[in-house]
Amino acid sequence: MASATASDLQTPSQPTPQGLNTSASTQFPTVNIGTRNSALALVQANAVKQALKDANPDRTFEIKPVMVQGDKDKITPLQQLSQGENAKSLWTGELESMLEKGDLDIIVHCLKDMPTHLPDKLLLGAILEREDPSDALIISPRLPKETTLATLPQGATIGTSSVRRAAQLRKLYPHLKFADLRGNVGTRLGKLDAEDSQYSAIILATAGLNRIGFSNRISQKLSSSTGGMLHAVGQGALGIEIRRDDQPMQDMLSKIKCERTTRACGAERALLRTLEGGCSVPIGVETTWRGGKGLAVGTQPARDYDKHGAALEGSEPDLDDQELVLKTLVVSVDGTEFVEHEAARKVRSAEEADDFGKEIAKVLIEKGAGKILEKIKVEKQWGAKKQLEAMGVAPGTA
């Protein structure tokens, strides 16, 4: 994207109606930042707000939390909530409507919750530097501190609402049991720690735990090399959604976007889009960079420093000279069928990353991923129907 110019930044994204909130020090309209109304979402939105403020000190930013559909309904199973068109708006629908109407200027999302198909008038304006995208095992305080996935006792119950996580673990550890677990991070930890808890462990995203100060609860980080787990598409990254025609906002965001994360996550999202899977479908990925320092999972590599603590220029090979390595896995819900593939390529732009993800998806389909995903779709519809019937709720009325 082109860098913002002074004239760009002095042009509001749309005419300022009389009485619209503006900065006290300038006549620029306040930039309204939309986010889900949860502790983690607010921490993430504040991080974006600070990054934007640092890059644009002459602008004023305000966070507008919104209670979205996926947070309102704590009873209906996620399998039912994520059916059909509803899946596209579960975590984003209300926010996107406000963005289209101009009530918001940007939306801060966990990228893994963003649909790969956005409304025509909206655009993924930037992806910020990625946090650790791995999953994390958190064990019950009733178990030894050194407990890992491999040493959990026979029949131990793991709490997770993620089909992807449970499916991968059924493949690797068929002796474990799984139970649905919803709620914010604090709620889930409370359910794990309760004296009468049914859970021996739960699995959450490492990035979320790090961001809200619960990294001390992580018993084991789960990756392809530890625990055999691949993470969700976009996990650990923050995506910022804007109006497609809002060029001044694109220019503003160009100052804080991360090219390394944009390419890695772009390949992951293109893979998911081509497979037509949603966030509740068991598709795992892991991106690494080859040819540089080799830091895993698409995160920004550490820099070398001199004896005075100054970063050394040229200590990391140019991103265009490194290869993006993408590991992928599609697994059936019961863990008995799976297709996996790994490939590497230099991707010198977001467009090349997109093409890379599409090609890997086609390879997975040729290997049988399409049949697995179609079977999962049918099973999800049937399972959701049976869960609602057991709750005494007629399908279509939840």
Q: Confirm if 189 and 216 have CB atoms less than 8 A apart.
A: no
Between CA 330 and CA 215, with CA 131 as vertex, the angle to 5 degrees is: 100
Residue 299 is classified by DSSP as: P
Round to whole Å and give the CA distance between 261 and 130. Answer: 6
Round to whole Å and give the CA distance between 166 and 337. Answer: 14
113 tagged catalytic:
yes
Say which residues have a Cβ less than 8 Å from residue 120's Cβ, sequence separation at least 6. 244
Round to whole Å and give the CA distance between 198 and 140. Answer: 10
**Token duo for residue 320:** 């265009």
Strand, helix or coil at 100?
Answer: helix
Give me the DSSP letters along 105-134: SEEEEEGGGS-SS--TTEEEEEEPPP----
Alpha helices in the chain (DSSP H): 6-9, 39-55, 69-72, 78-81, 86-89, 93-101, 163-172, 185-193, 206-211, 247-253, 259-275, 350-367, 369-391
Round to whole Å and give the CA distance between 324 and 321. Answer: 10
Active-site choice (105, 113, 135, 251): 113
**What is the strand order of the sheet 122-127 is part of?**
61-66, 31-36, 106-110, 238-243, 122-127
Please report how the helices 259-275 and 350-367 are oriented relative to each other, as an axis angle in degrees rounded to 10.
30
As annotated, the active-site residues are 113
